């Protein structure tokens, strides 16, 4: 910048600042006030834009910009009469004058004036007429293309880009028409693709700037209007030709900018032009012979066989080749999903020509070797040629990375070649020898390392590395590593091939290695960036492998070789990390941790890898490996104390110390190592250093050190530590934890970690602590309990200590019991739910630890606590209710003397709860336990409590409720079972006598029936004389009752009573089934189902002796005409399969393959039975061999059978995905694709109108449910690209199917974005129909449903709009842009975005 311009610019800025901070000045005549709302005087402003003083021009253009902004705001509110009256519209003549003034100021001598003029131009385009917009576009474009305006070309280019970005959409076609052809002509006119021209000449530089400006504007123009403007669409081919011609430019920046423009153009051109573009790029790249000796060999062969082609090759410079490859990578990155298999099949071999593994493996390869005359890089210097080789290979691997991530299905046939090439170039370092093939080198590594470490300190880094400053081969290695990382990412759901498939280590070499093995072998990489990428790539591979093992896709070898052999024989993929991989990983990471010159990033990556390895079976390995890792961790923790390593403090930073502590904690808690090995290595090597870390300054290191100390007591127990070891460790832990526990001015995280560590210490090693130490910690816990910020952590600590005190006589809490309970009782009155929950759990735990009655306990405290507990018992929060009932039960059990208090404070609320229709699960179980304890402790008599419970039937809210009757029946049966044995027979006889099937009191009859069944479930009624016979008679008589509720209660009671007395009840039940039919048959099967379910819940249940009796009636009724009966049979078979799989599954397989007249009903029953068995947690190993047979039910013609089969598959995917993972692609997916698109509509004539019924709708819902669950449970089994057309069709289905599809899209956005981006354009039509749903005459809930439907579609649109690469889906982006600008959709969008 010239000195005068510099002074002018500074003066402008000072003037502007002075004007902003100056006091208000009187308004001058003709001067518009900056804050005034009055109409601006445009004539005065335009006159001042021509003033000789640049400050006046600056103020004038600034005021004009503000005036135009207000005018634009008023124009958008043209319906507002007040607005339009206060700001009259600008006439056309004034518009033209304003445009001319703004354009003239683009040539202003002041940079500040030019800047504001460009801003004003963006505002002006929103207000002026279309005629002025086109004039502005023509004028700026002409100025930008004018060779004589080189000094201001950047300003004109910015102005034109501003015009393209801000012009209204409706003018886009006109502007595109005026600009596109001129920009193309500008490129052609100023193009210079001759390699002999001098780029330093003035004319060439001017032409280059024009071409760059044209390409910049074209990129923005294509981005905004490329797919919507008809003018642009007509110019697609000329634009393509113009930009392609620039790939041969001698200037690198022009070639790079042209490639960027082509990448944007590729997103909007038609498939025909896209294919032509790809073919043209590939044809040009194909002319190059390649690199290295293999490339020279191909060039000589081509010269001998085809002289013309050789001539063409010589004309193709390496720079052109690099630009072409880079452009091809850009195109694949933006529209890779639009490429077909033929393109990929051509691209990959061409790219491999430049990444030939033979060149990387050639031991005689020399990067400084002189170029041949036939070399494709002839005419370039050797250094430039070497740099060009590096850039070409780097571009090719970048293309491979893009293809693997964006076109995983298309690239799959070439994946092995890409992996082989990437493995070869991952170690491509011709200027350094690693001795990869020297078997003896590894044996001498340790001795050599010691010598190298001594030598490292004698020489400076600058002198050692001066010869390597110019070695850029690491860029090739890094790009190859990133390609391997992409392969790992693409196979993350099933990475087994990367552990199993072997590749030649070198060409023509017998040595082979896997991808995993090659990565571990390259941990010795000398370049920091490459080394970190390699370690992170392997860490990612290991993490995905562990995840795949958890999902059942593969099996990681366990500690039992017999299990591994059995799994391998069954066809499962077994990956063994223990044999060689684990030791190699540990050895390689130890080298990184021990290297003095190693960077912090390498050490951090090595620690992350070891942490991931801890999650695999076998963990880090043997005791020697564990000790070695601990010694390296010790070095990191002691870095600040080691004078020799103090100068490497940048490496051993606090963050590295934190990561080392995290590694130790994971090793202690992962349960993958031998606890004795961990203990024997930890105590002598690391314990003292970890305790020192508690005294560090950084709160994160302190907290992590406390977390490590928290794991040590449990480790001592698992590692069978001696008493001396426990005593020594307990003392060390106490000395480290107690100071942090007693301090007050600490970070919250440190306080909570100190409490957790103290809980672990006291609860496990209390026998090794002195009484003073224990009392000190307990007193500190009380202090923390009284503090608002630490009370929840203190409550959890007390709970853990209390649980330990239950089972240990050495740990007494008498010193703090009264005060602790008092504080906890106060917390029960707080509003915080989480605080109440923690306090209730702690009370429940502590009261069990109460000593005998001789302990001086404040009895008045129980009165207060129980009163608060009674107030919490309510069905408004069943979880707190459950905890309160459990705490009351514990108090009563620990102090029977509190029976009267429990009766007065807790029992009334409990009785109210017993008649709640919401009572279930844990709250019901806690209520039953409390009532039993009240009877057992004598807090209330049995007869009194029974009357109180029976009296709850009179409540208005409970009358007629099956749930209330069932709960009360369980309560009455529970207190009867808790009463003395002498009273039980009297009770059951009186209950039986009260059952009158024909009685008008239906509720009382139901209650007594269920009470008898629940009582008989726990007591063998056959031992009571005449009771079993009378109950059978009553149950069977109840089946003939006219009341359905009584029938149902009798069926349940019969099944439950059969559990306690199988001999008298079960044969009678099965005998009654033989001659039954209709409704009675359904009730009997209900009884049988209840019997099997209840029997499964009995501990030590064995029903094998009864299976031969149960199977015949079940098999006989599999084809029953009544669907309800078949459903009961299916539930019985499913429950039996869980109990006796070896007996039931072969029967189900036989039934599934029978071809009888009743096969439809039988197959329906079998499908349901398998579904119930899977839901009942049948052993997957037992069921797996039969699943292929059951999956064949999907091919049945009957829709009901198909639907049941789909639900069976859904249950398998949800509960046990390993059952279907192996057969998903072959047997299940083809049927799912078909059923998800099946449509079977039929019309029913209802007289005045016709009703359309879609019989296949349940099938489509079930099929999509299977897909949705597979995305969560077993994504590797799906073929995502093949599912995209199915999903696109589902998005246009009926409302329920659409909502399911929307949820699937949301899931895929996070897990499978690339296939979703590829199919985005196919979703547009369906989504547009959804978000533009008309409300019609709908009101109320129907209208709300329509609104929710619209918002669901908008959520999908917004979620997909955030995906990487979605900009390439132009049709979808245009749809999203239209919706965002649509006023009717604005409130819906606002509501969705605020969710």
Q: Looking at 1250-1294, list the stretches that DSSP marks H as alpha helix, in order from N- to C-terminal side.
A: 1257-1273, 1280-1290
* pLDDT for residue 369 is more than 50: no
Give the Cα separation of 1308 and 1281 in Å (integer). 12
* Element containing residue 502 per DSSP (H, E): strand 502-504
Confidence of residue 838 (pLDDT cuts 50, 70, 90): very high
Confidence of residue 28 (pLDDT cuts 50, 70, 90): very low
pLDDT at 1135: 92
Packing angle, helices 292-305 and 307-315, rounded to 10: 130
pLDDT tens for residues 997-1011?
Answer: 777 788 889 999 999
Confidence of residue 1083 (pLDDT cuts 50, 70, 90): very high
Q: Give the residue, 888 or 1154, on which the prediction is more confident.
A: 888
- 804's CB contacts (< 8 A; 6+ apart) are 762, 763, 764, 766, 811
19 in Cβ contact with 59 (< 8 Å): yes
pLDDT at 1023: 84
pLDDT tens for residues 116-150?
Answer: 777 777 676 666 677 777 877 887 788 788 888 77
HSE, side-chain direction, 13 A CA sphere, residue 938? 3
Work out the percent of the chain whose per-residue pLDDT is above 90: 27
pLDDT at 91: 65
- The residue-averaged pLDDT of 472-487 equals 91
- 669's CB contacts (< 8 A; 6+ apart) are 711
Confidence of residue 1301 (pLDDT cuts 50, 70, 90): very high
* pLDDT for residue 705 is more than 90: yes
- The residue-averaged pLDDT of 201-211 equals 77
Give the Cα separation of 930 and 893 in Å (integer). 9
Mean pLDDT of the chain: 81
- The two beta strands, 512-514 and 555-556, are unpaired
- The residue-averaged pLDDT of 904-926 equals 92
Report for 39-43, 122-126, 1293-1297: range of highest mean pLDDT:
1293-1297
Closest CA to 1065 of 1084, 1047, 1046: 1084
Closest CA to 285 of 341, 232, 323: 323
Structure tokens at 845: 């735990």
1152 in Cβ contact with 1166 (< 8 Å): yes
Confidence of residue 1100 (pLDDT cuts 50, 70, 90): low
How does DSSP classify residue 1141? H
Number of Cβ atoms within 10 Å of the Cβ of 41: 15
Structure tokens at 607: 């620690």
Residue 575: helix, strand or coil by DSSP? strand
Q: Residue 257 phi/psi, 5° resolution? A: -65, -35
Structure tokens at 450: 């010691």
Give the Cα separation of 729 and 742 in Å (integer). 20
pLDDT tens for residues 1240-1259?
Answer: 888 887 777 787 888 899 99
Read out DSSP for 292-344? HHHHHHHHHHHHHH-HHHHHHHHHS-HHHHHHHHHHHHHHHHHHGGG--HHHH
Q: What are the Cα distances from residue 206, in Å, to 20, 751, 976?
A: 40, 68, 102
* pLDDT for residue 570 is more than 60: no
pLDDT at 1377: 84
Give the Cα separation of 194 and 207 in Å (integer). 13
Closest CA to 915 of 888, 950, 946, 879: 950
1088 in Cβ contact with 1069 (< 8 Å): yes
- The residue-averaged pLDDT of 9-14 equals 39
pLDDT at 288: 62
Q: What are the Cα distances from residue 629, in Å, to 248, 536, 585, 632?
A: 55, 19, 11, 5
Report for 205-209, 427-431, 701-705: range of highest mean pLDDT:
701-705
Q: Residue 949 phi/psi, 5° resolution? A: -70, -45
Q: Which residue has the tokens 């004698």?
A: 458
pLDDT tens for residues 635-675?
Answer: 888 876 544 444 444 445 788 899 999 999 999 998 888 88
pLDDT at 246: 85
- The two beta strands, 574-575 and 555-556, are parallel
- 1000's CB contacts (< 8 A; 6+ apart) are none
pLDDT tens for residues 711-735?
Answer: 999 999 888 888 999 999 999 999 9
Read out DSSP for 238-258? HHHHHHHHGGG-S-HHHHHHH
Give the Cα separation of 236 and 213 in Å (integer). 19
**Dihedral of alpha carbons 958, 964, 969, 972, sign:** negative
Q: What are the Cα distances from residue 680, in Å, to 516, 676, 683?
A: 31, 6, 6
Residue 1254: helix, strand or coil by DSSP? strand
Confidence of residue 83 (pLDDT cuts 50, 70, 90): very low
Structure tokens at 206: 């001017």
Number of Cβ atoms within 10 Å of the Cβ of 245: 14
Torsion, CA 122, CA 127, CA 130, CA 131, rounded to 10: -90
733 in Cβ contact with 716 (< 8 Å): no
* pLDDT for residue 586 is more than 80: yes
pLDDT tens for residues 792-824?
Answer: 999 999 999 988 888 777 788 888 888 888 889
* pLDDT for residue 1304 is more than 90: yes
Residue 140: helix, strand or coil by DSSP? helix
pLDDT at 315: 37
Give the Cα separation of 477 and 432 in Å (integer). 13
* Element containing residue 1245 per DSSP (H, E): strand 1241-1245
Residue 1242: helix, strand or coil by DSSP? strand
Summary count for the chain: helices (H), strands (E): 71, 6
* pLDDT for residue 987 is more than 80: yes
- 540's CB contacts (< 8 A; 6+ apart) are 485, 488, 489, 492
Residue 1251: helix, strand or coil by DSSP? strand
**Dihedral of alpha carbons 1362, 1368, 1372, 1377, sign:** positive
Burial class (CB in 10 A: 0-12, 13-18, 19+), 679: buried
pLDDT at 165: 82
Q: Residue 1244 phi/psi, 5° resolution? A: -110, 125
Number of Cβ atoms within 10 Å of the Cβ of 896: 15
Q: Give the residue, 70 or 763, on which the prediction is more confident.
A: 763
pLDDT tens for residues 252-277?
Answer: 888 888 888 888 888 888 888 888 88
HSE, side-chain direction, 13 A CA sphere, residue 665? 18
Closest CA to 354 of 316, 326, 413, 395: 395
Lowest-confidence pick of 164-178, 509-523, 649-663, 847-861: 847-861
293 in Cβ contact with 362 (< 8 Å): yes
- 713's CB contacts (< 8 A; 6+ apart) are 729, 730, 733, 760, 761, 763, 764, 765
Confidence of residue 504 (pLDDT cuts 50, 70, 90): confident
Structure tokens at 908: 């009334």
Q: Which long-range contacts (CB under 8 A, 24 or more apart) does 1344-1349 make?
A: 1345/1295, 1347/1388, 1349/1295, 1349/1298, 1349/1299
Q: Which residue has the tokens 């860490």?
A: 539
Query: ∠934-938-943 over CA atoms, to 5°?
Result: 80
pLDDT at 1086: 93
Q: What are the Cα distances from residue 802, in Å, to 134, 194, 760, 812, 1263?
A: 82, 87, 12, 9, 51
1058 in Cβ contact with 1091 (< 8 Å): yes
Could you tell me the end-to-end alpha-carbon distance of the chain, in angstroms, rounded to an integer?
Answer: 51
- 1050's CB contacts (< 8 A; 6+ apart) are 997, 1009, 1034, 1035, 1038, 1039, 1041, 1083
Say how many residues make up the chain.
Answer: 1395
Residue 638: helix, strand or coil by DSSP? coil
Lowest-confidence pick of 338-342, 488-492, 992-996: 338-342
């Amino acid at each position: 910048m010239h000195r005068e311009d510099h002074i002018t610019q500074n003066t402008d800025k000072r003037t502007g600042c002075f004007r902003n901070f100056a006091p208000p000045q009187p308004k001058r005549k003709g001067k518009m006030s900056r804050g005034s709302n009055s109409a601006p005087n445009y004539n005065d402003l335009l006159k001042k834009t021509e003033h000789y003083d640049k400050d006046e021009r600056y103020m004038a253009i600034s005021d004009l910009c503000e005036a135009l902004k207000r005018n634009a705001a008023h124009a958008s509110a043209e319906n507002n009469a007040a607005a339009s009256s206060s700001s009259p519209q600008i006439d056309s003549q004034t518009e033209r004058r304003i445009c001319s003034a703004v354009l003239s100021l683009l040539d202003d001598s002041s940079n500040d004036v030019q800047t504001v003029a460009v801003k004003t131009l963006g505002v002006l385009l929103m207000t002026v007429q279309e005629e002025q917009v086109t004039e502005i576009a023509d004028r700026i474009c002409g100025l930008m293309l004018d060779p004589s305006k080189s000094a201001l070309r950047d300003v004109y280019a910015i102005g034109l880009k501003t015009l393209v970005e801000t012009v209204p959409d409706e003018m886009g076609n006109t502007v595109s028409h005026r600009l596109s052809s001129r920009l193309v002509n500008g490129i052609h006119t100023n193009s210079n693709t001759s390699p002999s021209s001098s780029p330093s000449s003035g004319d060439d530089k001017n032409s280059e700037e024009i071409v760059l400006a044209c390409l910049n504007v074209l990129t923005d123009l294509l981005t905004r209007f490329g797919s919507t403007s008809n003018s642009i669409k007509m110019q697609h081919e000329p634009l393509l030709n113009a930009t392609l011609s620039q790939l041969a430019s001698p200037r690198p920046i022009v070639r790079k900018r042209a490639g960027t423009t082509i990448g944007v153009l590729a997103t909007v051109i038609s498939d025909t032009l896209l294919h032509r573009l790809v073919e043209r790029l590939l044809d040009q790249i194909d002319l190059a012979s390649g690199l290295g000796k293999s490339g020279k060999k191909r060039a000589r062969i081509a010269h001998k066989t085809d002289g013309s082609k050789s001539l063409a090759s010589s004309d193709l410079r390496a720079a052109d080749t690099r630009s072409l490859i880079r452009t091809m990578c850009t195109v694949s990155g933006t529209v890779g999903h639009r490429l077909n298999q033929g393109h990929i099949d051509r691209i990959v071999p061409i790219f491999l020509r430049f990444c030939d593994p033979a060149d990387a493996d050639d031991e005689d390869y020399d990067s400084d070797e002189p170029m041949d005359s036939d070399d494709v890089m002839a005419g370039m210097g050797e250094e430039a040629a070497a740099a060009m080789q590096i850039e070409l290979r780097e571009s090719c691997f970048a293309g491979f990375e893009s293809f693997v991530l964006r076109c995983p299905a298309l690239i799959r046939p070439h994946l092995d070649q890409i992996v082989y090439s990437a493995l070869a170039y991952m170690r491509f370092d011709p200027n350094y020898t690693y001795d990869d093939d020297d078997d003896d080198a590894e044996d001498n590594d340790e001795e050599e390392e010691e010598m190298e470490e001594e030598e490292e300190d004698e020489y400076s880094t600058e002198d050692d590395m001066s010869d390597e400053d110019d070695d850029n081969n690491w860029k090739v290695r890094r790009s190859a590593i990133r390609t391997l990382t992409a392969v790992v990412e693409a196979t993350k759901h099933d990475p087994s091939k990367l552990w199993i498939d072997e590749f030649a280590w070198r060409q023509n070499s017998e040595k082979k290695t896997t991808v995993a093995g090659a990565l571990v072998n390259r941990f010795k990489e000398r370049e920091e960036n490459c080394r970190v990428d390699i370690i992170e790539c392997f860490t990612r591979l290991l993490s995905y492998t562990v995840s795949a093992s958890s999902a059942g896709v593969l099996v990681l070898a366990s500690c039992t070789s017999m299990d591994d052999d059995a799994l391998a024989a069954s066809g499962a993929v077994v990956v063994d990390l223990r044999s060689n991989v684990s030791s190699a990983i540990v050895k390689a990471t130890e080298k990184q941790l021990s290297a003095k010159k190693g960077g912090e990033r390498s050490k951090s990556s090595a620690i992350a890898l070891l942490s991931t390895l801890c999650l695999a079976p076998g963990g880090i390995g043997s005791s020697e490996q564990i000790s070695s890792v601990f010694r390296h961790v010790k070095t990191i923790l002691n870095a600040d104390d080691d004078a020799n390593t103090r100068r490497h403090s940048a490496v051993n930073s606090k963050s590295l110390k934190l990561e080392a502590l995290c590694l130790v904690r994971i090793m202690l808690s992962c349960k993958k190592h031998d606890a004795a090995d961990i203990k024997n290595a930890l105590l002598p090597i690391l314990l003292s250093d970890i305790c020192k870390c508690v005294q560090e300054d950084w709160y994160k290191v302190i907290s992590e050190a406390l977390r490590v100390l928290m794991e040590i007591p449990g480790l001592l127990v698992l590692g069978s530590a001696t008493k001396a070891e426990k005593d020594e460790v307990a003392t060390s832990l106490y000395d480290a934890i107690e100071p942090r526990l007693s301090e007050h001015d600490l970070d919250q995280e440190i306080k909570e970690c100190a409490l957790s560590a103290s809980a672990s210490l006291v609860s496990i090693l209390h026998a090794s602590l002195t009484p003073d130490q224990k009392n000190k910690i307990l007193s500190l816990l009380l202090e923390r309990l009284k503090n608002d910020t630490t009370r929840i952590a203190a409550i959890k600590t007390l709970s853990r200590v209390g649980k330990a005190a239950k089972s240990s006589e050495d740990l007494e809490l008498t010193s703090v019991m009264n005060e602790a309970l008092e504080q906890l009782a106060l917390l029960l009155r707080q509003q915080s739910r989480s605080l109440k929950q923690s306090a209730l759990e702690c009370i429940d735990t502590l009261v069990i630890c109460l000593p005998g009655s001789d302990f001086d306990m404040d009895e008045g405290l129980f009165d207060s606590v129980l009163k608060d507990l009674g107030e919490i018992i309510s069905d408004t929060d069943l979880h707190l209710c459950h905890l309160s009932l459990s705490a009351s039960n514990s108090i009563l059990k620990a102090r029977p003397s509190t029976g009267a208090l429990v009766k007065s404070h807790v029992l009334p609320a409990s009785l109210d709860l017993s008649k709640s229709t919401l009572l279930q699960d844990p709250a019901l179980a806690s209520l039953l336990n409390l009532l039993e304890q009240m009877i057992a402790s004598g807090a209330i008599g049995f007869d009194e409590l029974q009357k109180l419970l029976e009296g709850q039937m009179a409540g208005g809210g409970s009358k007629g409720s099956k749930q209330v009757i069932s709960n009360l029946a369980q309560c009455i049966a529970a207190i009867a079972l808790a009463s003395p044995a002498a009273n039980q027979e009297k009770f059951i006889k009186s209950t039986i006598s009260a059952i009158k099937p024909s009685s008008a009191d239906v509720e009382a009859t139901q209650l007594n029936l269920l009470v008898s069944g629940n009582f008989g479930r726990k007591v063998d009624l056959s031992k009571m004389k005449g009771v079993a016979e009378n109950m059978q008679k009553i149950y069977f008589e109840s089946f003939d009752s006219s009341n359905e509720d009584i029938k149902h209660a009798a069926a349940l009671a019969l099944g439950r009573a059969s559990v306690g007395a199988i001999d008298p009840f079960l044969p009678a039940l099965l005998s009654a089934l033989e001659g039954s039919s209709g409704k009675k048959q359904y009730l009997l099967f209900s009884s049988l189902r209840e019997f099997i379910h209840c029997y499964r819940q009995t501990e030590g249940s064995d029903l094998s002796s009864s299976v031969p009796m149960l199977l015949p009636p079940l098999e006989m009724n599999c084809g029953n005409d009544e669907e309800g009966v078949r459903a009961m049979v299916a539930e019985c078979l499913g429950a039996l399969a869980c109990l006796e799989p070896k007996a039931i599954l072969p029967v189900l397989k036989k039934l599934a393959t029978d071809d009888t007249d009743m096969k439809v009903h039988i197959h329906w029953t079998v499908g349901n039975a398998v579904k119930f068995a899977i839901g009942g947690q049948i052993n997957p190993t037992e069921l797996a061999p039969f699943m292929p047979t059951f999956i064949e039910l999907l091919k049945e013609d009957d829709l009901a059978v198909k639907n049941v089969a789909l639900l069976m598959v859904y249950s398998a995917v949800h509960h046990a995905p390993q059952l279907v993972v192996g057969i998903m692609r072959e047997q299940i997916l083809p049927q799912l694709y078909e059923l998800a698109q099946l449509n079977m509509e039929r019309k029913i004539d209802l007289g005045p109108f016709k009703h359309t019924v879609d019989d296949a709708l349940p099938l489509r819902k079930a099929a999509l449910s299977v897909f949705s669950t597979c995305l969560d449970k077993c994504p590797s089994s799906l073929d995502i690209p093949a599912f995209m057309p199915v999903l696109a069709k589902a998005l246009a289905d009926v409302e329920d199917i659409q909502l399911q599809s929307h949820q699937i899209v949301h899931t895929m956005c996070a897990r499978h974005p690339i296939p979703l981006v590829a199919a985005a354009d196919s979703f547009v039509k369906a989504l547009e129909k959804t978000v533009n749903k008309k409300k019609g005459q709908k009101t109320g809930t129907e209208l709300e449903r329509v609104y929710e439907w619209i918002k669901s579609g908008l959520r999908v649109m917004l979620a997909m709009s955030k995906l990487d690469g979605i900009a390439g889906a132009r049709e979808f982006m245009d749809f999203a842009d239209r919706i965002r600008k649509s006023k009717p959709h604005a409130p819906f969008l606002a509501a969705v975005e605020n969710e």
